[in-house]
Homo-oligomer: A and B are copies of this chain.
Amino acid sequence: MLDINKAIESLNWDKEPKGLYEPIAYTLASGGKRIRPTLALTAAECIMNGGLLSGDAIENTLPAALALEVFHNFTLLHDDVMDRAEVRRGRETVHVKWNDNTAILSGDQMLIEAYKLIARVPNDKVQRTLEMFNEMATGICEGQQLDMDFEHRSQVSIDEYMHMIELKTSVLLAYAMKIGGYIAGATPAQQEALYRYGLHIGLAFQIQDDILDVYGDPATFGKATGGDICCNKKTFLLLTALETADPESKAELLQWLMATGQDEQKIAAVTAIYDRLGVREAGEAVMEGHTAEALAQLDKLPQNDATERLRELAERLVTRKS
């Protein structure tokens, strides 16, 4: 398997003006799981039926895989400005280390850099790849807008929440799979299976994230739990609790949503309500459903080492602790 981190490191940001490019280098050097380019390359490998990708195949798929990672990091950069987030992956965010204007402009340039990588896709596949990349990027922006809208709404249904996380999280994983497969020569039916695999693991991933924020072990999760409860974040758990609670539990929950400055009691009390209503189990059931859907897609694809890795990834999602 290709070393994604090495490929990302080989991108050159030692250019003028430094004020524009240094924040890009800083953002891309801060790690992360590199899940999106890994998915794109694994999808390509699965379609090519081989064990390791040949040199040519890498040449063909790598620019798009890198474009997805650069794009993802662009969204984090701008999201951090919008959310006023101060820390990302253990380091100061760009708008804190530099300033808002730098974060906006370097983010814009990162988005353009992603498109520069798309321009390096083989000529006969640029147009369709560009179309898919644009659809993906539009989904992310629409998802971010819905997420911001939801913050100011008193009621959000679970369906609306699922639609939002599909756009904000899953569509990028889905298109990573589809684009990787498309460039490797996947048939339309295979592209669809790859897309749906990505979509469903994305949904499972996000619900697991909501669960871990409440029930994770801080030691393995990497951050304190209860953050979502403290800030009344409309997660799958909270929306399910609000939608399924008996009047008494609902009143108690709404009461706690208005509480501020007593975080520890609030976390304990809301978690107790969640426990009583069984929302964790409800979330796990939905998550397992999406995992099963993702696994079912893999049966429609060539069976090889890459397919096996995609199977393991989906299964690992359900049991992950961080």
Contacts and interface: CB of A to CB of B under 8 A. Distances in A.
Interface in A258-313: none
User: Copies of this chain, how many?
Assistant: 2
Contact of A19 (B105, B133, B148): B148
Contact of A145 (B20, B115, B148): B20
A232 interface: no
A284 to B, nearest CB: 30
Contacts of A17: 142, 145-146, 149
B78 A104 contact: yes
A112 interface: yes
Interface stretch (A49-57, A124-132, A170-178, A189-197): A124-132
Contacts of A116: 131, 134, 138
Of A107, A119, A126, the most chain B CB neighbours within 10 A belong to A119
B127 A119 contact: yes
A148 B123 CA distance: 37
Main secondary structure of the interface of A (DSSP, over half): helix
A112 B127 contact: no
Given A82-B104, A104-B78, A127-B123, A142 B20 contact: yes
Given A20-B145, A104-B104, A111-B111, A130 B119 contact: yes
A134 B105 contact: no
A101 B148 CA distance: 9
Nearest to A144: B105
A81 interface: yes
Nearest to A81: B104
A35 interface: no
B134 A78 contact: no
A282 to B, nearest CB: 27
Given A17-B149, A112-B141, 16 more contacts: A19-B149, A78-B104, A78-B105, A100-B100, A105-B144, A105-B145, A105-B148, A107-B108, A108-B108, A109-B141, A112-B137, A115-B130, A119-B130, A123-B127, A126-B126, A127-B127
- A-B pairs, top 4 by smallest CB distance, nearest first, are A20-B145, A126-B127, A82-B101, A109-B141
22 contacts: A20-B142, A20-B145, A78-B104, A78-B105, A78-B108, A82-B100, A82-B104, A82-B105, A100-B100, A105-B144, A105-B145, A108-B108, A108-B111, A112-B137, A112-B138, A112-B141, A115-B133, A116-B131, A119-B130, A126-B127, A126-B130, A130-B130
